[in-house]
Structure 1
Amino acid sequence: MSLDLRGAARRADLRLERGALDELDELDRASAILTWRGRMLNEHVSARVFTALARQLERAGVRGDRPARVAAMVAEEWLHADRCAAVVEVLGGSPVIELPALPPVPEHEDADPLEAVLRNVISVSCLSETVAVALIDAERRSAGPPALQRLLAEILADEVGHARFGWRLLEDLAPSLSPALRERLADYLVIALDELATHELAHLPARPSPSRAAEAIGVCDGLAARRLFFATVNEVIVPGLQAAGLPALSAWRAAQEIGVWASSAASARYTD
């Protein structure tokens, strides 16, 4: 099964300045197409995750405007996928990609509905989306064409909202969490942080971008992005979770002890 966003890409009617495109050599252009096509897929998958999260919030009895806000996040992720597809097409690529086999969004059947949704909110918003904010902001700062800067700024604004959603929900619920639930969430954090690092480092190559021209069109400097990932975990995520009463520092240390990613020299030098 394929994800085909050619129609959406054309409707987006994105235009990039020719000068920026003319500076790309064949390797730069191929790297940029691969990067933006991958982002297109990631945004599509994120919409699926938020759809499941909205259902879990309802089951957990989390009322107010939160389920509606998550439903709006789904629409935002679809729009992001369309915008990424438009960049692929402008670069001369085809915004079509085979959909990989996707595991179901975790239901956490070993937990009650509130604990289950807290696990996913922490994993999705407090971890993944917070890292996305840092990485996209860095890409926005490096972008050359004004149209690309504006596109990344729009995506960034939405991702900030997605991260804040989780942090605010955790902040609101933290005072009512029992000691037993905090202990179980602490155990889960080890798993979630290990999975976060495994996923991110698999998608952040341990090498610089092919050229400054490629970086200006959205191809990240993998080494800088890895440093930024670890800085975000150490300086934003861990302190934020600690403030909510969760032992994130010990969980992060435990994740580094069990994670295959932490044993490689390329990754370990960024964990200090």
Structure 2
Amino acid sequence: MARRLLTAMGLGLVALVPLSACTSTVIVEGGTGTGTGTGTSTGTGTGTTTGTQTGTTTGTSTGFVCNAPGDLAYGCVAKDPDGTCPSPDAALDLLYDQLSGECPTTDPDFCGCWEYPVDVPCGPFVDQVGACCYYAQLVQDDFCEGRPFDVEGEARVATLGHRDDWYCDLDAGAPDLDGLDDATRLALAEAWSKSALFEHASIASFARFALELLAVGAPADLVREAQRALADEIDHAERCFALASHYAGDGARLGPLGLVIEDSLSRKSLQEIAVATAIEGCINETLATLVAGEAAARATDPAARAALQRIAEDEQRHAAFAWRFVAWACRRDPSITDAVAEAFRTGRPSGDVTPLPAGADPALMEAHGQLAAHDRARALRQGYEQVVRPCAEALLASLSPRSATPDAVASA
């Protein structure tokens, strides 16, 4: 996908600026030292130990040293049956439930925040009771699926209702409900309804974007692409509402009620629009594309897989469109490049990584197009590191040597 985005920006294959981190955290285990930080630990005997560490701690000892970027959390797991410690990759999965949880969000009605481990940079080392201990890197993500309809920091979506004029016949027919228990079926109805409302909100986002393109004098082909993307999102919303209706059962027909649009045209300048597009399109929509592709690859139900494949294909084009616009805007007015670089630097991987509802079967949810939280989180983080950051660095390197320094795009 990175090649497609580079092509959209008119860059082709370019040399990418080496990645670097803005900050690092050094933790010393099992020795003496000085520094600042906070931490807690819980557990007795051969149980698990968890904790968090912020700030930087330094010291000298022959103990365990962890030098890694960002906030680190400490956790321990039991040894494998053969007496060895799990590999860091295996430990990441084992520590996910232990270290993940909700975090505060500025918009709890429409979005959420989830803190979770994305890497295990240090470990294993064996503690005093024989457990295998690690430090995991944590991130906090505010998530709204796809390209949000953001109004002054509030991601707006419509309310779900009962109506039959947002329902469509699916290309692969209805999903196969045989073998689905009620808890999983209703969880699928809820998940697909949520996706449908986000796709519906994306219609408004592209409608606004088309007006913004006209306001800044964008070329006709960019305006045309915005109109095409708007039509795609209508199709996506219909497909998701249709799937949600099938999973809801009892002949339900689900659709959106009214969407609040007041004050949604507050962005006026080219810089404001470019910064918003970098976040909503270049980051969020690019990542939504990759998550949809991963979900499609794992789905086995024909109806869910076909819908996700169509959505992922269209969203790739939308993501390329966002990168193309940002490149055009920065070339038209180079003075906005630093603001765009800051948006890329502080932008976080965003997507829905909340756990599946209680009682839902994870394997059946995946078969019907809904990934488990840790799989979505991993896809988001890998997409950010392997696609978004390199493409942002390539764009900035082509625009301004000063903005193209590694720190310009290093994750916050």
**Same fold (TM > 0.5):** yes
Letter in 2 for 1:107: S
Q: Which has the higher contact order (CA 8 A, sep 6+)?
A: 1
Q: Which moved more, 1:212-221 or 1:92-101?
A: 92-101
Letter in 2 for 1:132: A
Offset of residue 86 of structure 1: 0.6
Partner of 2:266: 107
Going from structure 1 to structure 2, the CA distance change for 1:168 and 1:100 (only over 3 Å counts) comes to closer
Does residue 16 of the first structure (1) align with residue 174 of the second (2)? yes
From 221, 230, 240, give the equivalent of 2:381.
230
From 146, 165, 190, give the equivalent of 2:302.
146
Equivalent residue of 2:220, what SS? coil
Q: Which moved more, 1:86-95 or 1:204-213?
A: 204-213
Offset of residue 173 of structure 1: 4.4
Offset of residue 147 of structure 1: 2.6
Q: Which moved more, 1:157-166 or 1:206-215?
A: 206-215
Partner of 2:344: 189
Q: How does 1:81-230 map to 2 (within 5 A)?
A: 81-93=237-249, 94=252, 95-96=254-255, 104-105=263-264, 107-108=266-267, 113-178=269-334, 180-190=335-345, 193-194=347-348, 197=350, 200=351, 203-206=352-355, 210-230=361-381
From 221, 224, 231, give the equivalent of 1:65.
221
Normalising to structure 2: TM-score of the pair?
0.53
Partner of 1:265: none
Going from structure 1 to structure 2, the CA distance change for 1:9 and 1:54 (only over 3 Å counts) comes to closer
Is contact 2:305-2:368 (8 Å) kept? no
Q: Distance in 2 between matches of 1:97 and 1:48?
A: 13
Partner of 2:181: 25
Equivalent residue of 2:164, what SS? helix
Q: Distance in 1 between matches of 2:279 and 2:405?
A: 13
Equivalent residue of 2:374, what SS? helix
Going from structure 1 to structure 2, the CA distance change for 1:134 and 1:74 (only over 3 Å counts) comes to same
Q: Distance in 2 between matches of 1:155 and 1:253?
A: 30
Offset of residue 103 of structure 1: 7.7
Q: Distance in 2 between matches of 1:212 and 1:62?
A: 46
Normalising to structure 1: TM-score of the pair?
0.78
Equivalent residue of 1:70, what SS? helix
Letter in 1 for 2:370: V
Q: Distance in 2 between matches of 1:145 and 1:135?
A: 17
Which runs of 5 or more residues in structure 2 are unaligned? 1-157, 397-402
**Of Structure 1 and Structure 2, which has the larger fraction of its residues in helix?**
1
Going from structure 1 to structure 2, the CA distance change for 1:130 and 1:17 (only over 3 Å counts) comes to closer
Does residue 239 of the first structure (1) align with residue 390 of the second (2)? yes
Going from structure 1 to structure 2, the CA distance change for 1:28 and 1:251 (only over 3 Å counts) comes to farther
Going from structure 1 to structure 2, the CA distance change for 1:106 and 1:235 (only over 3 Å counts) comes to farther
Letter in 2 for 1:12: D
**Structure of higher CA gyration radius:** 2
From 37, 42, 48, give the equivalent of 2:198.
42
Offset of residue 185 of structure 1: 2.2
Going from structure 1 to structure 2, the CA distance change for 1:107 and 1:13 (only over 3 Å counts) comes to same
Letter in 1 for 2:301: P
The aligned length equals 243
Offset of residue 108 of structure 1: 3.8
Which runs of 5 or more residues in structure 1 are unaligned? 256-272
Offset of residue 169 of structure 1: 2.5
| Residues 114-165 of structure 1: CA deviation (Å, up to 9, x unaligned) | 2122122212221111011111001111111223222211111111110010
RMSD (Å) for aligned C-alpha atoms? 2.8
Going from structure 1 to structure 2, the CA distance change for 1:51 and 1:231 (only over 3 Å counts) comes to same
**Of Structure 1 and Structure 2, which has the larger fraction of its residues in strand?**
2
Q: Distance in 1 between matches of 2:298 and 2:306?
A: 12
Going from structure 1 to structure 2, the CA distance change for 1:7 and 1:157 (only over 3 Å counts) comes to same
Q: Which moved more, 1:162-171 or 1:91-100?
A: 91-100
| Residues 31-73 of structure 1: CA deviation (Å, up to 9, x unaligned) | 1011100011000101111111111111111122111210121
Q: Distance in 2 between matches of 1:102 and 1:250?
A: 37
